[in-house]
Structure 1
């Protein structure tokens, strides 16, 4: 019972999205039966499973891997509402950046999308105190960028202590957490610590991502980029350690293989939708249209990476271990 004497409503555990796809809120992932053909799903869908909406390009960190270094004005709330209307049919929307919580009106941004989409927020958590209470219960989870122990975090991303303080604020507000870490050759030795930290924080998953040669990452030394084979071997070791240590968070690894090319649809602050990453395209972007001007269903029709999109988001083209397994 709540303090008002009203029964609490159990949180929604899953949502049937049609076309054989469901969304598991407790694991923050899309599900399909093992015998369902991905290409059939891709051809049945009329909109993406997930899109990334950049509500700002501004950020208070200067991550050494960051691809989003070209600035542009923030969209207004009215412009974002137009984007939201034109994203009808999209299951999940990441309200991203830059650092999205730098917007003073971020809780109003969440209100625009909440109720129409499953909402998730990638963040460095440094501005969590400004918004956590107002967005709790409205977002499915916060995905916090986190490269492990303090020394590695500071070298790769920024201020460990500011992020950790923000993580505690998100936890206190009851916002579910996931962590994501960009993997360099020089950080391979700390990946197990990242999973341990995630376990202590009760994060549902840890996503490991390889950097791409764009933006700040153009300044990275060549030896920092590991091969797909090295990434797979690293994930296999982490999987063994996870079983040995009985860590709870799910593990995910995205490598940049042909099966993952162009799988993300990113909507920039000006409304331009792009497929990302497209390996032979300038800046790894492929223009798709503008979501302020036309519905995503029309953009989806001409999007050429439908199968890759679905495969990635239902876990067929990435390395994955489920939560608690």
Structure 2
């Protein structure tokens, strides 16, 4: 454990990391005391709870909903080490992409951030898991695998199901905890129960459902694929009922694009540029904040105007959420 109480190996227990301001990290997500005041927490923190660091923009898939299609050079290990130093204090770092496991030196990147004291999570399509899982084991809190459900749906929306699932099994063989994420399109609504069922079979800690935004490849998606807020709420309500009926164990999360979620993510591009995302009326939905190759995250945090939204989303108060095991009694 670090002085902040941040776990240095994957942990599933409730870990207090808030320095007395009321939040904690519980395996795969943040929690907050029921009596905690979000504005007080926002005023107390001098850094984000979580950031998304794009270690590459390259990817082996070409998802029709992908927002990140503009390419740029990968950061060097030296640059990534500088970014890590400037991200000191950030509780969780998503080593993201593109497809982060596309990098042959991904194990070295994991070492940099694990040894820096961060909770490390990895969003991935799992295709290259066999190349990196051994180096990730014991250092990555969880791998978040993108999967839209059964074979036909995943193949249509993302990529080859039969390349993804062997990678998932490799993660399991190395003891790397799993989460899942699925982009929700109207043509995939019928698959959502199967998606959660797959997450239950895989013992995933959570299944995250994400609505697409009009950027990148998603600019070319038909309008009818974008569901409304009311449809999203109805879909989540049905899933929650089905989870209770069938005793699915993963926590369920659905993020919709309401005012309370605007700008909640801090995304760091391969060149170090930090941006708030999604900012609804901004060009490309980005709002520039600074560059973590040039200054510490504490300075960037000072000019970040979505602090409350950031905290609210990550502790689950501005999204649709259930708690892992709450519907099954599983711990």
* 1:138-287 superposed matches below 5 A: 138-287=139-288
Structure 2 distance, partners of 1:157, 1:23, is 30
Partner of 1:36: 36
* Pairwise CA distance, 1:14: 3.1
Structure 2 distance, partners of 1:201, 1:10, is 17
Structure 1 distance, partners of 2:10, 2:240, is 32
Partner of 2:81: 81
Aligned to 1:114, what secondary structure does the other structure show? helix
Partner of 1:3: none
Partner of 1:47: 47
Structure 2 distance, partners of 1:123, 1:29, is 17
Partner of 2:25: 23
Q: Could you tell me the TM-score, scaled by structure 1's length?
A: 0.95
Partner of 1:295: 296
C-alpha offsets along residues 282-321 of structure 1, whole Å, 9 cap, x if unaligned? Answer: 0000000000000000000010000000000000000001
* Pairwise CA distance, 1:15: 2.6
C-alpha offsets along residues 50-109 of structure 1, whole Å, 9 cap, x if unaligned? Answer: 000000000000001001100000000000000000001100000000000010000000
C-alpha offsets along residues 172-202 of structure 1, whole Å, 9 cap, x if unaligned? Answer: 0100000000000010001000000011111
Structure 1 distance, partners of 2:151, 2:29, is 28
C-alpha offsets along residues 110-156 of structure 1, whole Å, 9 cap, x if unaligned? Answer: 00000320000000000000000111010000000000001110110
* Pairwise CA distance, 1:245: 0.6
Q: Aligned residue pairs: how many?
A: 315
Larger mean Cα displacement after TM superposition, 114-123 or 11-20: 11-20
Structure 1 ranges of 4+ moved more than 4 A:
9-12
Structure 2 distance, partners of 1:108, 1:24, is 26
Structure 2 distance, partners of 1:83, 1:187, is 38
Pairwise CA RMSD: 1.1
Structure 1 distance, partners of 2:211, 2:266, is 18
* Pairwise CA distance, 1:229: 1.0
Structure 1 distance, partners of 2:218, 2:11, is 40
Aligned to 2:155, what secondary structure does the other structure show? helix
* Pairwise CA distance, 1:12: 6.3
Structure 2 distance, partners of 1:236, 1:13, is 27
Structure 2 distance, partners of 1:87, 1:208, is 27
Unaligned runs of 5+ in 2: 1-8, 327-331
Residues 10, 141 of structure 2: 8 Å contact kept: no
Partner of 2:121: 120
Residues 10, 138 of structure 2: 8 Å contact kept: no
Say if 1:36 and 1:189 are closer, same or farther in 2 by CA, change over 3 A: same
Residues 99, 125 of structure 2: 8 Å contact kept: yes
Structure 2 distance, partners of 1:273, 1:238, is 35
* Pairwise CA distance, 1:11: 4.7
